[in-house]
């Protein structure tokens, strides 16, 4: 489970800049203007092999009692409740303020792990100019410059060190074939709870014609044809601009974590609504998480033949990056198309956990090179020598050779297609990594 880091502080201290630095993105709007961020913003970060979720918040005024500032304070409190570690950001150049004292008092009462971050500290001496922040009673001050990237790595290391180390058993659980964790994801009101109720044969989950009925990730044990499953009904992920209730926002992290912990994700689309930007966003997150995925279009019986044709073309274009996933057209209410859906779920799980012997991988690699050699780059021609499996769920293939940094993306996709065909990998992402051999005599004269 990825830990959650929440950025908290008064307006214009650089929280959004730090958010963009931690997530290596430009998702948060940044400008020299106080109070620009008002809503909560979620992003993914990584430090080495450790991944985490970052939450950006608006300026925090704990005692705000009315207007937009009261709503912003409510959002920040919710972010703190979701977080495993709070990053309290202060302005090193502006110095300590009364509002900083209010926020520090609120955080001390919660007793949650907290890191005091002095932003905009480039060129400053830690001992003298940052001494006043010790008044806040939150321990050591970590100086950073979010704009220049100084001290950010040490900040993340400090934050993650305050958490217990991840258990090794979690990695083994990801490839455990005894119980298959199946997460049903999608936008609100596409029929996720209805589908699970249909599978179970009872009204186990509340299903209502109102977006946002499910607020948390609900797990239900299930057995079918001798195979054990854990069905996870997730809260619908809607566009950020249409999310209003704090309770619903709390469920976003739960949904993302449920997708990451699943073995297979069933992405449910609504035939009556078509493929939306939010569907593509959820599909992108599933792909980034490396989960096996099956696509299903619910409410297929509610549209005519012309709409069906348009929808199929829309799926082919807008979700082209999931072309390796099986596609099914179902009706959860009428129990139509559910049998073949289970076959694809099992096939996706088997593909994600398939063992690929090194001799077979190397033979497929050499045959692929013989059929089509990699393109020369200047004076270098990549030489691919052998391949082995580097992981499962998703499958990882590591290719060794010389000058492999010059292999282009088109050839990488060509190799991926060859490996997929050779091992019948359906419904799972496949990651191909290259490792170039080093010349032991390169530094010798």
Q: Among 143, 145, 147, 115, which Cα is nearest to 130's?
A: 143
Q: Give the HSE-up count for residue 332: Cα atoms under 13 Å, Cβ half-sphere.
A: 24
For residues 65-93, give the mean pLDDT: 78
The CATH number that domain 4-161 falls under is 3.40.50.300
CATH number, domain 170-351, options 3.40.50.1220, 1.10.230.10, 3.40.50.740, 3.40.50.300: 3.40.50.300
Residues 6+ positions from 254 with CB-CB distance below 8 Å: 216, 217, 234, 235
Q: Looking at residue 293, what is its pLDDT?
A: 94
Give the C-alpha separation, 184 to 293, whole Å: 10
Q: Looking at residue 240, what is its pLDDT?
A: 45
Beta strands of 23-150 (E only): which ranges? Answer: 41-47, 50-56, 85-91, 114-119, 141-143
Which comes out higher in pLDDT, residue 67 or 343? Answer: 343
Q: Looking at residue 66, what is its pLDDT?
A: 56
| pLDDT tens digits, one per residue of 249-268 | 445 677 777 888 889 999 99
Q: Looking at residue 424, what is its pLDDT?
A: 93
Query: In 130-270, where does DSSP find H-type helix?
Result: 152-161, 169-174, 192-200, 246-261
Give the C-alpha separation, 70 to 60, whole Å: 9
For residues 406-417, give the mean pLDDT: 91
| pLDDT tens digits, one per residue of 315-349 | 999 999 999 999 999 998 888 888 899 999 999 99
Q: Looking at residue 352, what is its pLDDT?
A: 93
Tell me: pLDDT of 247 over 80: no
Q: Are 256 and 234 in contact (CB under 8 A)?
A: no
Tell me: pLDDT of 245 over 70: no
Class of the CATH domain delimited by 358-436:
alpha beta
Instruction: Give ranges for CATH 3.40.50.300 in the chain.
Output: 4-161, 170-351
Tell me: pLDDT of 12 over 90: no
| pLDDT tens digits, one per residue of 82-118 | 889 999 999 888 888 888 898 888 888 888 889 999 9
Share of the chain above pLDDT 90, in %: 28
């Amino acid at each position: 489970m990825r830990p959650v880091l929440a950025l908290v502080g008064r307006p214009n201290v650089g929280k959004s800049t730090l958010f963009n630095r931690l997530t290596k993105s430009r998702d948060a709007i940044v400008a020299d203007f106080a109070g620009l961020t008002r809503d909560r913003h979620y992003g993914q970060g990584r430090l080495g092999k450790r991944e985490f979720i970052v939450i950006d918040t608006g300026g925090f005024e704990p005692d705000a009692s009315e207007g937009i500032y009261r709503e912003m304070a409510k959002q920040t409190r919710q972010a703190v409740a979701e977080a495993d570690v709070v990053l309290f950001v202060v302005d090193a150049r502006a110095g300590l303020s009364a509002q900083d004292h209010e926020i520090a008092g609120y955080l001390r009462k919660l007793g949650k792990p907290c890191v005091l971050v002095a932003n905009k500290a480039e060129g400053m001496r830690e001992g003298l100019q940052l001494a006043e922040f010790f008044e806040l009673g939150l321990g050591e001050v970590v100086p950073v410059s979010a704009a220049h990237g100084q001290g950010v790595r040490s900040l993340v290391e400090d934050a993650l060190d305050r958490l217990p180390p991840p258990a090794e058993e979690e990695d083994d659980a990801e490839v455990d074939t005894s119980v298959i964790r199946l997460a049903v994801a999608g936008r609100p009101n596409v029929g996720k709870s209805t589908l699970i109720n249909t599978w179970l044969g009872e009204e186990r989950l509340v299903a209502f014609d109102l977006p946002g009925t499910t607020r948390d990730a609900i797990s239900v044990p299930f057995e079918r044809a001798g195979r054990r499953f854990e069905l996870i009904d997730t809260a619908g992920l809607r566009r950020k601009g249409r999310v209003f209730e704090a309770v619903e926002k709390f469920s976003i992290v739960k949904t993302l974590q449920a997708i990451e912990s699943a073995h297979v994700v069933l992405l449910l689309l609504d035939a009556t609504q078509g493929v939306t930007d939010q569907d593509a966003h959820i599909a992108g997150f599933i792909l980034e998480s490396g989960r096996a995925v099956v696509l299903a279009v619910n409410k297929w019986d509610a549209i005519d033949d012309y709409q069906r044709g348009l929808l199929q073309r829309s799926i082919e274009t807008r979700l082209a990056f999931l072309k390796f996933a099986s596609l099914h057209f179902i009706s959860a209410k009428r129990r139509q198309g559910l049998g073949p859906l289970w076959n694809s779920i099992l096939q996706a799980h088997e593909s994600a956990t398939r063992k690929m012997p090194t001799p077979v991988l190397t033979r497929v690699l050499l045959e692929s090179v013989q059929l089509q050699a990699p393109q020369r780059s200047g004076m270098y021609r990549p030489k691919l020598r052998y391949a082995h499996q580097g992981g499962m769920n998703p499958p990882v293939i590591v290719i060794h050779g010389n000058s492999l940094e010059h292999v282009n993306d088109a050839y990488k996709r060509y190799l991926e297609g060859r490996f997929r065909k050779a091992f019948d990998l359906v419904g799972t992402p496949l990651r191909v990594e290259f490792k170039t051999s080093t010349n032991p005599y390169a530094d010798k004269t």
